Amino acid sequence: MIPKEIKKFVDYFSKLPLLGPRQATRLAFYLLESDKSSLKNLSEAMSDLLKLDRCARCFFIKEENEKLCPICSDEKRSPTVIAIVEKETDLMTFEKMSKFKGQYLVLGKLAEKGILEQTQKARLEKLKSRIKSELGGSADEIIIALNATAIGDFTSDIIREEFKNLSKKITRLGRGLPTGGEVEFADETTLLHSFEKRY
């Protein structure tokens, strides 16, 4: 009854965050109501995502043909102060604050179990190598900017222990962020307060 193209669309899109099978089905039929040029524009926008890559230094997104992302390649930013964030959207929220002038490490989505995955361990090892080779073995400050949740707290403790000999100071965002709150959804004033009151 349902065309295989719709089934394929629903199968794929229902795996995305915030979309289950019902929402994916609604989305498919909504898009079918759109004119062909809108569908073509959407298709091109999705294809353009293939032109993006990860920065080998901080793991944020960058253009495929660029060596580093705009933040890592900005010589005005301090390489000795590094904020460790969970997701790209956290980094983008941090940047809206217009206060932080250091660099980043995007750790990746934290697992529910609170165990670092191989990719995250590799990213932390890359940061250690970066500190040893580029900063003489010690950063001025590492800011652990993870969410104020049990998993965020547990991961922060692991990071603090692993980097205790590689930074003069290791801080966390102050508790202007509510417990259980996420950096991505914090307003700029709350995040700024948390940033300034880091401990």
Who wins on pLDDT, 164 or 196? 164
Please give the domain boundaries of the chain with CATH numbers for all domains.
4-52 (1.10.8.420), 67-196 (3.40.1360.10)
The pLDDT value recorded for residue 91 is 96
* Contacting residues for 155 by C-beta, under 8 A, at least 6 apart: 107, 110, 114, 116, 146
Highest mean pLDDT among 47-56, 100-109, 148-157, 171-180: 100-109
Mean pLDDT of the region 104-123: 90
Q: How far is CA 106 from CA 33, 34, 74, 146, in A?
A: 38, 36, 17, 10
Print burial letters for 107-122: b (CB count within 10 Å at least 16), e (below 16): bbebeeeeebeeebee
Residues 96 and 151 sit within 8 Å (Cβ to Cβ) = no
- Tell me the pLDDT tens digit for each residue of 29-39: 899 888 888 88
Mean pLDDT of the region 47-68: 93
Percentage of residues in the chain with pLDDT exceeding 70? 94
Res 3 pLDDT > 90:
no
- Tell me the pLDDT tens digit for each residue of 132-160: 999 999 999 999 999 888 899 899 999 99
Q: pLDDT confidence of 192, banded at 50, 70, 90?
A: confident
Structural tokens at position 163: 């980097």
The pLDDT value recorded for residue 199 is 67
- Reported pTM: 0.79
Mean pLDDT of the region 69-88: 96
